[in-house]
Amino acid sequence: MLPEPVPGDDAKPVADLPEVRRTDSARSRLTAAVSPEEAVVLQLQSAHLVERTTPDGFAPKIAAGLDVAYTPDSDRLVAAAVCVDIATLATVDSVVVRDVAGFPYIPGLFAFRELPALIPALDRLTVEPDVLVCDGQGLAHPRRFGLACHVGVLTGLPTIGVGKQALGRYEPPGPDRGDWKPLVDNGETVGRALRTQHGVKPVFVSIGHRIDLDTACDLVLRLSPEYRLPETTRAADHLGREVSAGRVRVQDVGD
DNA sequence: GCGACAG
DNA sequence: ATCTTGTCGC
């Protein structure tokens, strides 16, 4: 994940992060135990890896929704990944991974809390998704590296960030489905407040990786024909809650 | 300095 | 995120 020694960029921060240096694969770096300070450095060093354009011939058939549910009692969490057929919105695959939180919730850093469970869930998917829909921000993040960017860069898949709440202030878009207003941070457009249903609060869409904002919003609207949130997010959220609440139990036998 | 702050 | 009682509407 860390920028492979970028030529002409001998950043000194990394040299002072033993935990981070010790890892060698991009993936282990993100799952490795890092401090909040190191997490911030990791984001700053990784932001430039985000690709803001859509691959040629992008015609997604399967979209995977990602979401994490938390258990009432303590620090246990359930990550859910659900593949949905974009044309029919039918669920075609789903995986759940239970884990114990290894990082506190800190605005701007929650990818470090959910990634350790989300990545394994994605890995266990049998159906290959063409695009990922994360619940949270992508570029609409103070360091331009929200959860959606993190997941996208790690998997290399086109990824979109759809948050239920914006990080900063925003101008309310028109009242109709499809109306939107740009999300601006420090004079830069980082996403959109998009109305997915008439009269409901907008969702906050931003680029995660390998997709442009227009294409991202277009897909989010297609995935949200009836409700405020995309079906991908709704399906993952529902599955996670069922497991988290104990209404669904999983147990592997053998290997 | 003070408040606000994705899930 | 999660807890919580009631309420409005299809």
Measured from the CB, is A146 under 7 Å from any atom of strand B? yes
Question: Which of the nucleotides in strand B have any atom less than 7 Å away from a protein CB atom?
Answer: 5-7
Q: In what order do the strands lie in the sheet with A159-163?
A: A91-100, A76-85, A62-70, A131-134, A159-163, A203-209, A188-194, A180-185
Say yes or no: Cβ of A47 under 7 A from any atom of strand B: no
Report CA(A83)–C1'(B5) in Å, whole number. Answer: 31
Using a 10 angstrom Cβ sphere, with 0-12 exposed, 13-18 middle and 19 or more buried, the burial of residue A87 is: exposed
pLDDT in tens, chain A (255 residues): 444 433 333 333 333 333 333 334 555 665 566 899 999 999 999 999 999 999 999 999 999 999 999 987 778 999 999 999 999 999 999 999 999 998 999 999 999 999 999 999 999 999 999 999 999 999 999 999 999 999 999 999 999 999 999 988 899 999 999 999 999 999 899 999 999 999 899 999 999 999 999 999 999 999 999 999 999 999 999 999 999 988 888 887 975
pLDDT value for A27: 58
Residue nearest to nucleotide B4 (CA to C1'): A168
Answer for the pair A217, A194: CB distance below 8 angstroms, yes or no: yes
Q: How far is the CA of A22 from the C1' of C1 (A)?
A: 32
The CA distance from A29 to A21, in Å, is 8
Q: Which residues pair with A97 in a beta bridge?
A: A79
Give the nucleotide at minimum CA-to-C1' distance from A165: B6
CATH code that applies to domain A62-244: 3.30.2170.10
pLDDT of residue A8: 33
Q: Which residues of the protein have their beta carbon within 7 Å of strand C?
A: A 68-70, 72, 135, 164, 240-241, 244
What's the pLDDT at A251? 85
Which single residue has its CA nearest the C1' atom of nucleotide C1?
A70
Q: Where do the structural domains in chain A lie, given as residue ranges?
A: 13-49, 62-244
Helix, strand, coil tally for chain A in percent (to 5): 30, 25, 45
Residue A24: per-residue pLDDT: 42
Hey, what are A170's tokens? 């925003």
Residue ranges at the known binding site of A for Mg(2+): 67, 135
What pLDDT is attached to residue A255? Answer: 57
Using CA atoms, how far apart are residues A198 and A213, in angstroms rounded to an integer?
21
Spacing of A95 CA from C9 C1' in Å = 34
pLDDT of residue A178: 96
